[in-house]
Amino acid sequence: MRATVIHGPKDIRVEEVADPRIELPGDAVVRVTHACVCGSDLWAYRGVAARQPGQRIGHEFVGVVEQVGAGVGGLRPGDRVLAPFVWSDGTCAYCADGLHTSCPQGGFWGEVGSDGGQGEAVRVPFADGTLVRLPDDVDDALMPAVLALSDVMSTGHHAALAAGARPGATVAVVGDGAVGLCGVLAAHRLGAERIIVLGRHADRTAVARTFGAVDVVAERGEAAVGAVRELTGGQGAHAVLEAVGTEESMRTAISVARDGGAVGFVGVPHGGSAGVDLGQMFNRNVALRGGVAPARAYIPELLADVLAGRLDPSPVFDLTVRLDEVPAAYAAMDERRALKALIAF
C-alpha cells in the first residue's frame, strides 16, 4: 500500500510500504477513507521535532475496519470508525479516568514501529479501546467534521475545559490555528459569554467569528495584553486557551488571564518555561492546566453533537488533497497558504 513517510526536514514522500496486518489479537486493520495534516506535523516537517528517516506520519484518520484480531470484540469488518490521535487499551486506570493519553500501553500514530494516519491503511493496536464506531448510515458530508474530532476539535475542547470556559465566562483564545479555532468553537459550545481570539490572520479570525468569537486582537506581546485588558474592563479573561506553544504565547496567555482564572494550554510546548511567569501566577492565582488532549474520552460526547448537526468544526479544513498531493499540502501549510489539509482517499 501507499503511505506518507518522513525522511528528513521538508522531505515528506508518499511511497510504497508493507501492508499492515494483524500482529496481536487486539489489533484491527483499518482502511483509511479520510485523514488530514496537523499543525503539529509541521514541527516534524520543519525539523524542530526529531524524526527518524523513514518514520510514518499523520495521526488523524477515519476509515473502515478491514480485519480484526481474534481478541477484538466490539468491531467487525465493514464498521466505519474514527481514531483518536493516540491509541489506548481502554481498560487501565488512566483510561477509566478519561486520561487515555497516559495509558501505559498507549502510543502515538507514526511513532517508530507504528503506522501513520496519512496512508491507505493502519494497523490499530487495542482496537476495542481505541476506535470509536460510527453509525453505519453516517452522512459522508459529515466526515470532515467527524475527522476533526480525532485531534483538533478534541484538543480545543480540552483547552476550553482546562481553562474553565463556562456560561458567564469571558474567554480569550491565544492562536488562530486549527486548534485555536476549535478552542473558540468549544468555548462557545460550553456557553462562554464572550470570546476574544488573538490572531493576526484575517482569513482565520474570520472563521473564529463564525465559530463564536466576538472580538479579534491582532496585536502581539504587551500590546495584545493591553488590548485584552481594555476589552475586559482591565480585568482580563476568566479562561484563556493557549493554542500555540511558544514562550511568547504562554507569557501572553498568563498575562491576559483574570486573577483567579486559568490558562488551558494545549499548544505543544516548544522552548522552555521562561514564558511561565510564576510570580504573576502566584500573586494573581492564575492556574495552568492542560496538555495532550485525551481525545478518546471526549469523542463520544462531541460526536453526538456532530451527528446531530449541533457542532461543525469542518471549516478548519480549507484544502482537500489526494494522497499523492500530501507533500504539497505540507508545503502549503508550512507557507501558511493553507490552514489545514484534508486528505480524501
The reply on whether position 227 binds its own copies by CB under 8 A is no
How far is it, in rounded angstroms, from Cα 80 to Cα 333?
Answer: 28
Instruction: Find the shortest distance in angstroms from Cβ 258 to its own copies.
Output: 9
Instruction: Find the shortest distance in angstroms from Cβ 166 to its own copies.
Output: 14
The reply on whether position 17 binds its own copies by CB under 8 A is no
Distance of CA 146 to the CA centre of its chain: 12
| Paired strand residues for 36 | 342
Instruction: Find the shortest distance in angstroms from Cβ 99 to its own copies.
Output: 4
Residues 154-193 that bind its own copies (CB under 8 A): 162
CB 46 within 8 A of CB 10: yes
Instruction: Find the shortest distance in angstroms from Cβ 168 to its own copies.
Output: 12
Instruction: Find the shortest distance in angstroms from Cβ 295 to its own copies.
Output: 13
The reply on whether position 287 binds its own copies by CB under 8 A is yes
Closer CB to its own copies, 24 or 49, in the complex: 49
What spatial distance separates the first Cα and last Cα of the chain, rounded to whole Å? 12
CB 267 within 8 A of CB 243: yes
Q: Which of 74, 76, 283, 336 binds its own copies (CB under 8 A)?
A: 283
Q: Which of 292, 307, 328, 331 binds its own copies (CB under 8 A)?
A: 292
- Taking CA atoms, 310 is separated from 188, 190, 301, 306, 331, in Å, by 12, 12, 11, 6, 33
- Taking CA atoms, 334 is separated from 46, 137, 238, in Å, by 8, 36, 32
Q: Which of 63, 156, 183, 291 binds its own copies (CB under 8 A)?
A: 291
If we measure between CA atoms, which residue out of 58, 138, 134 comes closest to residue 323?
58
Give the per-residue contact string, 232-271, with its own copies (x = CB under 8 A; - = no): ---x--------------x--------xx-x--x--xx--
The reply on whether position 101 binds its own copies by CB under 8 A is yes
The reply on whether position 273 binds its own copies by CB under 8 A is yes
106's CB contacts (< 8 A; 6+ apart) are 86, 87, 88, 89, 100, 126
If we measure between CA atoms, which residue out of 123, 126, 120, 117 comes closest to residue 152?
117
Q: Which of 281, 307, 328, 331 binds its own copies (CB under 8 A)?
A: 281
Instruction: Find the shortest distance in angstroms from Cβ 101 to its own copies.
Output: 7
The reply on whether position 54 binds its own copies by CB under 8 A is no
Q: Which of 64, 218, 276, 331 binds its own copies (CB under 8 A)?
A: 276
Going by the DSSP 8-state scheme, the letter that residue 105 receives in this structure is T
Detail the DSSP E strand segments found in the chain: 2-8, 11-16, 28-36, 55-56, 61-68, 80-83, 86-87, 107-108, 121-124, 132-133, 170-174, 194-198, 215-217, 237-242, 257-265, 287-290, 319-321, 341-344
Q: Which of 53, 167, 168, 279 binds its own copies (CB under 8 A)?
A: 279
Interface stretch with its own copies, choices 193-201, 215-223, 279-287, 321-329 (CB under 8 A)? 279-287
The reply on whether position 290 binds its own copies by CB under 8 A is yes
User: Rounded to the nearest 5°, which phi and psi values hold at 306?
Assistant: -65, -45
Q: Which residues are near its own copies by CB under 8 A?
A: 93-94, 97, 99, 101-102, 162, 235, 250, 259-260, 262, 265, 268-269, 272-274, 276-279, 281-292, 294
